[in-house]
Amino acid sequence: MGDSLQIHDVAEYITWNIPRPTFFIQDILPKEQGTLLLYGDPKVKKSWLVEQMGMCISQGIDWLGFGTEQARVLIAQFEIGTYTYHWRLKDMALRHFSLQEHTLFELTQPRMYLENNETFAYFTAGLRDLAFDVIIMDCLSACFGGDENDSEQVAGFIEKMVSIQTEHNASLVLVHHANKNQLGGNSVNRARGHSRLTGWVDTLIHMVEQPTGVQLQFSSRQATRELHSLNIDFNDYLWTRRT
């Protein structure tokens, strides 16, 4: 089974000079192959939120009050038509951002099901020479055509995502839907599909419509502090924290 178990004496182990975890978005999106799953109901404007996230990371500016580290970002979106998405990006960017060249990229390829080996090879070949640090995949139901509730199929898709992370040493943001049953439990088990997906990612963000507006609920295993729910508003093509 390979190397022997690495069991450490904690009194000695804590003296090691090991760097603290680092993030592209503080406490939310870890560097070095981190994974974030953002999910919520249809039409809650998840895509607008990750577009804004991508722009903020690509420029190294705060995202909803969370600090970011500037990185080279690809938004790969598999759901919206080319012209519609062009105008979405343009409307947000021209109103609120001064984008630099060679920092933020987009790929529009509606319904590109990556569980297919040939399709996946075509997709990854297109990324190979561009050295992205963060890859946003919007949304899972339009790039995974398998059964979201099938453990083996979901595991196969995760394996493909890990291979992208490994090849690029990139962090991934996956956009997904919430399940229809919102009663009971917590945000961890409200993402649609098999629990393998939520068990794999570092951070879950549940984007949920509340009576008072939209709220982000966080669960992050690498966070250095407690992350409280965040109330946000959408105006003039931009999400902002509600005061």
pLDDT band, residue 182 (cuts 50/70/90): low
pLDDT above 60 (res 197): yes
Q: How does pLDDT run across 205-243, given as a tens digit for each residue?
A: 999 999 989 999 999 999 999 999 999 999 999 999 997
pLDDT above 80 (res 186): no
pLDDT value for 208: 94
Average pLDDT, the chain: 93
Percentage, residues of the chain above pLDDT 90: 89
Is residue 219 within 8 Å of 187, Cβ to Cβ?
yes
pLDDT above 60 (res 188): no
Q: How does pLDDT run across 69-83, given as a tens digit for each residue?
A: 999 999 999 999 999
Instruction: Report d(CA 217, CA 206) in Å as an integer.
Output: 5
User: Which whole number is the average pLDDT over 10-32?
Assistant: 94
Q: Under CATH, what is the fold of the domain 21-241?
A: Rossmann fold (3.40.50)
Instruction: Report d(CA 207, CA 177) in Å as an integer.
Output: 9
**Burial category of 209 from C-beta neighbours within 10 Å (exposed 0-12, middle 13-18, buried 19 and up):** middle
Percentage, residues of the chain above pLDDT 70: 95
pLDDT above 90 (res 102): yes
3-state helix, strand, coil in the chain (%, to 5): 30, 25, 45
pLDDT above 80 (res 114): yes
Domain limits, the chain: 21-241
* DSSP helix/strand/coil, 167: helix
Q: How does pLDDT run across 149-166, given as a tens digit for each residue?
A: 999 999 999 999 999 999
In terms of Cα–Cα distance, which of 114, 169, 154, 163 is closest to 137? 114
Instruction: Report d(CA 9, CA 28) in Å as an integer.
Output: 30
Query: Which phi and psi (to 5°) does residue 224 adopt?
Result: -95, 5
Instruction: Report d(CA 40, CA 191) in Å as an integer.
Output: 8
pLDDT value for 243: 78
Residue 217: partners with Cβ closer than 8 Å, 6 or more residues away: 187, 205, 206, 208, 229
Is residue 214 within 8 Å of 208, Cβ to Cβ?
yes
